[in-house]
């Protein structure tokens, strides 16, 4: 009997187990067991939950067999590139595996829904040019005074019917689960686009918008560390007030403007030429805009100020209430 079969039979009896338990039961090295578990996960026969040191393995209910709905090669590649599903128990399923699972959960035809997904994504991505979405017009239609020359974001936060985009999902769960590995993955994936933008705009200084919600691992700090940028870093902080009020909790535009104006502090006194302000998510755009206006009032910029968000809203900078 093969080791794989022994593992499957053991899981069938026990329900769930750890790698150490399997290693002791089968009398094999930890390395050998991990290799077999990795292969079984890739084959879709088992799943896991938890993070080291407490990881549990169990038989998977998902079986990618000959009965799996047919997707043509182009559609399959498109979904593998763009789709991510996080299950109710926090299991990450990329690409087709995640898409099939989501369709099963929502009782939808995989083939028909896949076609609609490709059409929907392509509709939204018509707004992308060289991997960037230009949100400048929306910004200028929202505010009477704008401090940014242009505003870009790397992706939309969510789309019709299918909800959060892959990058939107990754950002949300990286922050909420305090997952440093996921924060690094995001940083690695978006770094080439940010570097191209920096070169194109001749950026000399970078400002990272500080977070409001206190967390052990702050995404923006991890992003700054992982991007490894050579440009000057502008010192921007968040004022400490008795009751910290995140932008996402404010529904009125005037309240979001007041919040950004009164709580974002540009402490830097140096002169900068072209500045890029980076934020994780654009809701109204108030924080980026008010930070840029403050820099201009202090006459710290001799060139132009640009804004960049990791994700942004599609419909007129609607409020993003989760990130």
Q: For residue range 137-158, list pLDDT tens digits in order.
A: 889 989 999 999 999 999 999 9
Q: For residue range 228-283, list pLDDT tens digits in order.
A: 999 999 999 988 877 777 777 777 889 888 888 889 999 999 999 999 999 999 88
**Is 318 a residue whose pLDDT tops 80?**
no
Count Cβ neighbours within 10 Å for each residue of 238-253 and write b for 16 or more, e otherwise. Answer: beeeeeeeebbebeee
* Host H or E run for residue 208: strand 205-208
Q: Would you say the pTM of this structure is higher than 0.75? A: yes
Q: Are 323 and 310 in contact (CB under 8 A)?
A: no
Q: For residue range 53-62, list pLDDT tens digits in order.
A: 888 888 886 5
* Statement to judge: residues 204 and 94 lie in one domain: no
* Statement to judge: residues 206 and 256 lie in one domain: yes
Decide if 172 is inside a domain: yes
Decide if 154 is inside a domain: yes
Q: Are 76 and 115 in contact (CB under 8 A)?
A: no
* Statement to judge: residues 78 and 205 lie in one domain: no
Q: Are 248 and 283 in contact (CB under 8 A)?
A: yes
The label of the residue with tokens 């009020």 reads: 245
Instruction: Count how many domains the chain has.
Output: 3
Residue 53 is predicted with a pLDDT of 80
Residue 66 is predicted with a pLDDT of 42
Q: CA 146: distance to chain centroid?
A: 27
**Is 38 a residue whose pLDDT tops 60?**
yes
Here the tokens at position 111 are 């083939």
* Statement to judge: residues 50 and 121 lie in one domain: no
Query: Where residue 13 sits, what CATH number does that domain have?
Result: 1.10.10.10
Q: Supply the range of the domain harboring residue 180.
A: 130-312
* Statement to judge: residues 119 and 264 lie in one domain: no
**Is 204 a residue whose pLDDT tops 90?**
yes
* Statement to judge: residues 19 and 92 lie in one domain: no
Phi and psi based region of residue 229 (left: phi greater than 0; alpha: psi -120 to 50; beta: remaining): beta
* 241: phi then psi, degrees, rounded to nearest 5: -125, 160
Residue 239 is predicted with a pLDDT of 86
Q: Are 289 and 139 in contact (CB under 8 A)?
A: yes
d(CA 84, CA 96): 9
d(CA 286, CA 317): 10
Residue 319 is predicted with a pLDDT of 42
């Amino acid at each position: 009997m093969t080791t794989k079969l022994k593992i499957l039979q053991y899981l069938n009896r026990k329900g769930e187990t750890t790698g150490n338990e399997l290693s002791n039961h089968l009398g094999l090295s930890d390395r050998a067991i991990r290799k077999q578990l990795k292969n079984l996960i890739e084959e879709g026969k088992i799943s896991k939950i938890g993070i080291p040191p407490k990881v549990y393995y169990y038989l998977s209910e998902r079986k990618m067999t000959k009965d799996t709905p047919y997707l043509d090669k182009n559609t399959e590649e498109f979904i593998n590139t763009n789709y991510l599903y996080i299950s109710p128990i926090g299991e990450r399923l990329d690409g087709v595996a995640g898409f099939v699972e989501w369709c099963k959960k929502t009782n939808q035809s995989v083939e028909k829904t896949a076609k609609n997904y490709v059409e929907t994504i392509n509709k939204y991505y018509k707004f992308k040019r060289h991997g960037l979405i230009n949100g400048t017009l929306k910004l200028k239609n929202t505010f009477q005074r704008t401090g940014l020359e242009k505003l870009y974001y790397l992706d939309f936060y969510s789309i019709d019917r299918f909800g959060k985009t892959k990058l939107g999902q990754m950002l949300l769960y990286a922050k909420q689960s305090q997952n440093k590995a996921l924060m690094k993955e995001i940083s690695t994936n978006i770094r080439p686009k940010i570097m191209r933008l920096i070169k194109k705009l001749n950026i000399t200084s970078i400002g990272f918008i500080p977070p409001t919600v206190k967390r052990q691992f702050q995404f923006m700090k991890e992003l700054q560390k992982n991007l490894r940028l050579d440009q000057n870093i502008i010192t921007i902080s968040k004022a400490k007030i008795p009751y910290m009020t995140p932008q996402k909790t404010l529904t009125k535009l005037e309240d979001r403007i007041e919040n950004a104006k009164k709580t974002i502090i540009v402490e830097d006194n140096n002169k900068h030429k072209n500045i890029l302000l980076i934020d994780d998510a654009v809701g109204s755009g108030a924080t980026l805009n008010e930070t840029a206006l403050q820099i201009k009032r202090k006459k710290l910029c001799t060139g132009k100020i640009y804004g960049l968000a990791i994700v942004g809203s599609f419909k007129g900078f609607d409020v993003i209430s989760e990130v």
